[in-house]
Structure 1
Amino acid sequence: MTDRLKPTPRVYAVLMVVGLIYFLLPLYWVLVSITKDNGQLNTTFGLWFAQPWHFFENVRDLFAKDNGIFLRWILNSFFYSFSSGVLATMSAAMAGYAFSKFEFAGRGWLFSLILGTIMVPATALTLPIFLLINNIGLANTPWAVILPQMVNPFGLYLMRVFWDNGFPNELIEAAKIDGATDWQIFWQMGLPLVRGGLITVFLFTFVAAWNNFFLPLVVLNNTNQFPLTLGLSVWNNTNTGQTPQYTVIILGALVSIIPLVAAFFALGRYWQGGLTVGATKG
């Protein structure tokens, strides 16, 4: 009876196909939609192309709209995400090294306290962050977006795992016998051995910062400083008495994922290795 109820490989295959269609269908709809104009988007079948194509007109309108501000938004998003990724990675690497290799009073409960902040919703911290940023005069500046994202409790946990598993204490002891300082050990010996962890934390932070919408919405009010997420939302919700150029906005959303795909292809092998090391903890 149990064997009869056990799913067969064919059932798994069907479920995988259904899941694949579920995830790829929205992307296919986007690819179809960017070849249409607003009229065709509302009057033609959503899952098939219409004639004539308006793809190149949409590309031209995307980069020409509002004096070409879309390119500025791309550069802003890259700057915010790259800066946040680098700073979060280095802070996580340093803190993770300290928790892994140094003995100090309260290390266990302090580490648990930091990890506990993962359970706090990001939206609950947005107002306090805004008040703090505003009080120190950084509101409506790039630092208002970058600084809150350079603290990554999960990245700290992940880097501690890498330091525990990828950098034996015996190497530290041998290096100190040879006269190396803690700073030299960290930079010259440790970081190359935990490269997978660094790439993993950087990718997670880069993607999170790239997709972040709520934080820039709260701390920025200058359109020229908006990231892509906030800029496309402004285009979609602008009340000018005219229908928004939805096909242009859809094309902008598609363009916005290209840097993420490129980052995963460029760093994917290190990222996969990082996840494997993290999975062996314990």
Structure 2
Amino acid sequence: MIALLVYFLLPLFWLVIAATKSTGDLFATFGLWLGGDFNLLTNIHETFTYDDGVYARWLVNTLVYSLVSAGVAALLCAMGGYGFAKFRFRGNGALFNLVLGSIMVPTTALAIPTYLLFSKVGLVNTPWAIILPSIVSPFGLYLMRVYAESSIHDSILETARLDGAGELRIFFQVVLRLLAPGLVTVLLFTLVATWNNYFLPLIMLNDPSLYPITVGLSAWSSQSVGGSGSTGQLLALVVTGSLLSVIPLIAAFVLLQRYWQSGLTAGGVKE
């Protein structure tokens, strides 16, 4: 466990230390130790002000893409998983097997076909080119079906139906509350996947004002290679921008971890 802890935290520790250094100190000092000057605040200020504050725009773009995609994907997965788990209809098994098969297809393999499809309908170089593919989560649907089967008892649904509740009311007022831990899991998975997505926005977007953080920092990194002067200083901004981009994800996990708990339906069914 200690070895795994070091393996996962060492890159983050290096990133924190590197963000406090100037470009010169990044190469002149040991990577896991502080440089001669503490430049963290200066680096943060320069990151947000460089090129008319385009980093802030990239951050907002990433937040919009990730939050919208994660919210819609979690809702769709919850509805689909609940439907597969609690309703019996013709083709239920075949359709679910199709979902399982789609999990095995790498997302990068779908990027080019998705681009060709979106170019036909004029959605390339728009936010929809990032949001629409990101709301499709076969693994999230599979996860929600498994969770719905184990956490939602049929007697709860029958009781709600006897009380006169319709299926939509049952789903939004009863089922969603019982699915909260699974819903949050899918939400975070999709949030992280969209936040870290690089290849899809790289081929879909050509307007720098629409870039997410991943593509924007990659553009800065390309400019900093072999550069000098202000261009060479971009390396420190890339490192600082990378550190800042991690903070929202950490905050999301900390704020939502309380929903990862079992026993939400304990006492809901009387044996």
TM-score (norm 1): 0.87
Q: Distance in 2 between matches of 1:87 and 1:171?
A: 26
- From the superposition, tell whether residues 57 and 168 of structure 1 become closer, same or farther in structure 2 (CA, over 3 Å): same
Q: Distance in 1 between matches of 2:47 and 2:115?
A: 31
- From the superposition, tell whether residues 174 and 23 of structure 1 become closer, same or farther in structure 2 (CA, over 3 Å): closer
State the shift of 1:44 in Å.
Answer: 2.0
Q: Is the 8 A contact 1:236 1:244 kept in 2?
A: no
Aligned to 2:243: 254
**Between Structure 1 and Structure 2, how many residues are aligned?**
259
Q: Distance in 2 between matches of 1:28 and 1:178?
A: 56
- Pick from 213, 224, 231 the counterpart of residue 228 of structure 1: 213
State the shift of 1:271 in Å.
Answer: 3.1
State the shift of 1:244 in Å.
Answer: 5.0
Indicate the SS of the match to 2:51.
helix
Runs of 5+ consecutive residues of structure 2 not aligned to the other structure:
264-271
Indicate the SS of the match to 1:67.
coil
Q: Is the 8 A contact 2:99 2:142 kept in 1?
A: no
1:70-94 per-position Cα deviation (integer Å, ceiling 9, x unaligned) = 1111111110000000110111111
Q: Distance in 2 between matches of 1:155 and 1:149?
A: 12
1:164-206 per-position Cα deviation (integer Å, ceiling 9, x unaligned) = 1111112222222222211111111211111111111111110
Q: Distance in 2 between matches of 1:94 and 1:31?
A: 40
Q: Distance in 2 between matches of 1:46 and 1:160?
A: 46
Within a 5 Å distance, the mapping from 1:103-252 to structure 2 comes to 103-238=88-223, 241-242=227-228, 243=232, 245-252=234-241
- Fraction of identical pairs, as percent: 48
Within a 5 Å distance, the mapping from 1:49-68 to structure 2 comes to 49-68=34-53
Q: Distance in 1 between matches of 2:32 and 2:159?
A: 64
- Pick from 70, 78, 81 the counterpart of residue 55 of structure 2: 70
- From the superposition, tell whether residues 140 and 108 of structure 1 become closer, same or farther in structure 2 (CA, over 3 Å): same
Aligned to 2:70: 85
Moved more, 144-153 or 172-181: 172-181
Aligned to 1:46: 31
Moved more, 141-150 or 238-247: 238-247
Structure of larger gyration radius: 1
Higher helix share goes to which structure? Answer: 1
Aligned to 2:257: 268
Moved more, 84-93 or 243-252: 243-252
Runs of 5+ consecutive residues of structure 1 not aligned to the other structure:
1-15, 275-282
- Pick from 91, 95, 106 the counterpart of residue 80 of structure 2: 95
* RMSD value, Cα: 1.7
> 2:19 aligned with 1:34, yes or no?
yes
